[in-house]
Every structure is written in structure tokens, then in C-alpha cells.
A = this chain, B = another copy of it.
Amino acid sequence: MLWGGRFESLPTEAMRRLNDSFAFDRRLYATDIEASIAYARALARIGLIACEELLQITAGLEQVRAEFDAGTFRAQPDDEDIHTAIERRLAELIGPLAGKLHTGRSRNDQVTTDLRLYLLDEMDALKPRLAELQLTLIEKAEASLDIIMPGYTHLQPAQPVLFSHWLMSYFWKFQRDQQRLAQIASRVAVLPLGAGALAGHPFGLDRRALAVELGFSAVAENSMDAVSDRDYAVEFLAWAALLQVHLSNLAEDLIVWASHEFGFVEIAEAYSSGSSLMPQKKNPDSLELIRGKTGRVIGHLTGLLITLKALPSTYNKDLQEDKEATFDVIDTLHLELPVITGVIRTLKVNAARMAEALDDALLATDLCDYLVRKGVPFRQSHYWVGQVVRRAAQQGVSLRELPLVEYQAVHPAFADDLTTVLDFQRSVAARDTEGGTAPSALRAQIERARELMIQTNSNH
């Protein structure tokens, strides 16, 4: 224990177990050591550590890291957290000199520095995984520009759309996630170290230099805020929650479309599971797991917000709860992103089934637009076409089968040129404004998406 001088008795076993965070914060070992080495250098710069001492400390820390890397680090019962474990081991390796490393530093500023560094690394690792998913969507969209499918609202047939348009609709959701991730990073990359326990550093530490060395872009402006600030973890979890909602929507679409009755897509066997009882089954387990994990991620966000609610100023031990939530969300995304990317990449699209599902009713809005072009105000044309739809239903025929005379019985503006409207290709092509489902609009959309991908990746 780092804090025993004043204590006469030891924690009970139950307290030790409750308090112990080593089981989960051990994954911070590399960042903790990285931050400690930089901190040792900073202490050396202000003369609190001699040059020779710095070399010893650095070498010692490198060895501890090597032990962790190699899996040979031996934890002790008193290693209540990763910081204690590393400092304990360092002292075994280099003696009392290890004790100089903590000069002016508290676990309060140390732990949040570690978590920020770790999170920055993981955000950097998640970014290309998300980008790969986006690229897969773009490629699939480019390769599918000739596939028309029924577009749905309320899960009811609405208007014909390009399958590529649907694919790209998810690209943009993920693009917003990328944009948000970049914005959050600027607030994660703020250095708390030098805040001490809460009051600041008493030895004139050069925090700006330390920030630069560790790759932070700014220093925390107020030490009391610095040790309590977990906004960055909340922001990350909120980011993940929204990304996870997008993933759940994508999963839901595909699960419904992969049903026997829709039959629009087939999930590759490599992303499906069978049944222990029913031999014919091929279940989209991958997508269901992704959809299901939305609860976990939103739950973690809610949980951390609750932990932070109404805490008094500065550091409280409640803050230890920030890590497991953050780690689990990181792990979850690393599990999911390659799978959903693989699902999209290997997705078998059944264009024929989509074409069969193109019901004439999907063209009803085109009929309205037809009347609009003939001068009928839209709201009235909507009403008249509603009458046409009903008439067709009563006669048990489709809109294309309904004779012109029936149309004209509803409204005299219907004429021979009606047939040009009752065409799925034409319907799609007509929606050629920016963002519309027309092939031309979609090509422009894909082009912009590709540009953004290049921009985002070179940005970095």
C-alpha cells in the first residue's frame, strides 16, 4: 500500500476485494508506464531527479513493461491497482529511488491521465475499423447501382429506391459518427497530470512540455476540475451509444430482409449459426448479437452518468467505476465492427426477389406527381390517387392493370401518357435532386462519400 503510514489496521478481506481494481485496470499498464517515464523526465527537467536517477527509473519501468508484455509480471495481494503494482515492482527493481517518481503526483491525476491516453489509442484503433465498414458500404453501393427495391416507411411499401441508396444511408450515419469521434478526441487529449491530488503542482512542473511529450494537445486549466473531469469518458460512451443505435438499425433491416418471407438478402454462413434442435436453421446470430449489445452500451452510458450525478467536487472513489464501462464498450465495438463489415461484404443480395416485390402501389406518389404536372394541386391529386388505389383494390387489379377509363372516371386529367409514369426505373430516376434516389444523384453521393473518406483519413 502506498498510503499506510497513518494507518494502524489493515483492510478486511471483503474491503480488499471491493476496493481492488487491478483485475481490470491492469490493461492500463503500458499507458501508465508511458506516462510515468514522461513524468520522470519532467521531474528531471526541474531538477527533482538527477540524470542518472532518470536513467535508472526509466530502465526499471521498461523492465516492468517487458514483464507485463511477456505475461511474467507477478501480482501481489497488496497490488490494489495498476499504479500500486507498478510502483511496488519498480521499488523491487531499483530500490527507494522508485519513491521519487511520485513526487508531486497523485493517483488522482495519474489515473485519469492513463485513461485518457488509453482511450485516445483505442479511438485511433476504432476509427479505421469504422472506416472499413464505411468503405465496404460504398463499394457495395457502387456495385449495386442497378438494383431497385421497394423502399419502406413504417415497414410498409412506400416508393421504389435503389438498394445502393439504402446502403449509402448507413454510410452517412457512420460518417457522422466519424465526425463526432474526431471532435471528442480534442477533449480527450487534455493533460490532467500536474493537477496533483486536487491543488496543483508545487514544484513548477512544465505541464505544456509534458503534454507535448505525451501527445496531448492541451493542459487541463484547473486542477480541481482536472481530477474530477470524466466528461471525456461520458462523451465516448455517448458516441458509442449512438454508433450502436446505428448498428442496431442496420442489423434490424438485414434480419427482417433475411427472413424467409422477405428473402431480399442472405447472410453468409460464416456469420450465421445453426440450431441445436432444428437442423434446417441458419440464423443471423451475428446481427442479433449486435442488435442485442445496444442495451449493454446504452446501459454503460447511463451507468456512468448515474455514477457522476451529484458527486462532490474533485476526486471521489466512485470515479473508479469509469473504467470497466469504458473498457467493455471498447471491447464490444472491436468485436462488432469487423463482423458487421464482414456481413455486408459477404451479403448475398437477391435482386430478383427485390424486383418481384416491386408492387405497383409503390408508384402511387408518381401518379400524384403526374396530376401535379397537369395542374392539380398536390393535396387534391393525393385524394384522387387514393380513390384510384381503392378502385384497383376493389377490382383486385394492380395499378398497371387498371384500365385508363377507370382512372379517368376518377379524374379527367389522366391520359394516355399515364403508362410512362407507371414505371419503376422512371420513378427512381425522377428523384434526382441532391440526396435523392436517382442513379445520377447516387453517383454524386458516392463521389462525395469517397472524397470525405480520403479527407478524413489524410486528416489524421
Chain B min CB distance to A390 (Å): 5
**A403 within 8 A of partner (CB):** no
Chain B residue with Cβ nearest A49: B377
The reply to whether A379 and B99 form a contact with Cβ atoms under 8 Å apart is yes
Contacts of A369 in B (CB 8 A): 104, 202-203
Given the contacts A87-B379, A365-B278, A382-B5, A318 and B303 also touching, CB distance less than 8 Å? no
Chain B min CB distance to A74 (Å): 20
Contacts of A320 in B (CB 8 A): 289, 292
Chain B residue with Cβ nearest A318: B292
Chain B min CB distance to A353 (Å): 9
Chain B residue with Cβ nearest A369: B202
User: For the complex, what is the distance from the CA of A172 to the CA of B102, rounded to whole Å?
Assistant: 27
Q: Which 3 A-B pairs have the closest CB atoms?
A: A5-B386, A200-B436, A299-B303
The reply to whether A307 and B281 form a contact with Cβ atoms under 8 Å apart is no
Chain B min CB distance to A356 (Å): 10
Chain B residue with Cβ nearest A248: B310
The reply to whether A385 and B317 form a contact with Cβ atoms under 8 Å apart is no
**A459 within 8 A of partner (CB):** no
CB contact list, A163-183 vs B, under 8 A? 165-166, 168-173, 176, 179-180, 183
User: For the complex, what is the distance from the CA of A292 to the CA of B318, rounded to whole Å?
Assistant: 4
Given the contacts A274-B4, A275-B106, A154 and B251 also touching, CB distance less than 8 Å? no
User: For the complex, what is the distance from the CA of A388 to the CA of B308, rounded to whole Å?
Assistant: 35
What mask results when residues 276 to 301 of chain A are scored 1 for a CB within 8 Å of chain B, else 0?
11111111111011111111111111
The reply to whether B431 and A317 form a contact with Cβ atoms under 8 Å apart is no
The reply to whether B98 and A379 form a contact with Cβ atoms under 8 Å apart is yes
**A306 within 8 A of partner (CB):** yes
The reply to whether A158 and B231 form a contact with Cβ atoms under 8 Å apart is no
The reply to whether A9 and B268 form a contact with Cβ atoms under 8 Å apart is yes
The reply to whether B430 and A202 form a contact with Cβ atoms under 8 Å apart is yes
Chain B min CB distance to A16 (Å): 10
**A349 within 8 A of partner (CB):** no
Given the contacts A382-B3, A435-B222, A253 and B313 also touching, CB distance less than 8 Å? yes
CB contact list, A376-390 vs B, under 8 A? 377-390
User: For the complex, what is the distance from the CA of A6 to the CA of B361, rounded to whole Å?
Assistant: 12
**A37 within 8 A of partner (CB):** no
Can you identify 23 A-B contacts, CB atoms within 8 angstroms?
A3-B382, A6-B279, A7-B269, A7-B386, A14-B335, A18-B286, A19-B285, A103-B378, A152-B313, A155-B255, A158-B278, A159-B198, A172-B220, A176-B231, A194-B434, A194-B435, A200-B435, A223-B435, A234-B242, A238-B238, A242-B305, A289-B321, A299-B325
Chain B residue with Cβ nearest A206: B433
CB contact list, A324-343 vs B, under 8 A? 324-325, 335-336, 338-339, 342
The reply to whether B286 and A19 form a contact with Cβ atoms under 8 Å apart is yes
Chain B min CB distance to A17 (Å): 6
User: For the complex, what is the distance from the CA of A200 to the CA of B108, rounded to whole Å?
Assistant: 44
Chain B residue with Cβ nearest A107: B276
The reply to whether B2 and A153 form a contact with Cβ atoms under 8 Å apart is no
Q: A153's contact among B170, B260, B275, B293, by CB below 8 Å, is which?
A: B275
Stretch among A25-33, A64-72, A116-124, A437-445 lining the B interface = A437-445
The reply to whether A198 and B318 form a contact with Cβ atoms under 8 Å apart is no
Q: A431's contact among B202, B242, B366, by CB below 8 Å, is which?
A: B202
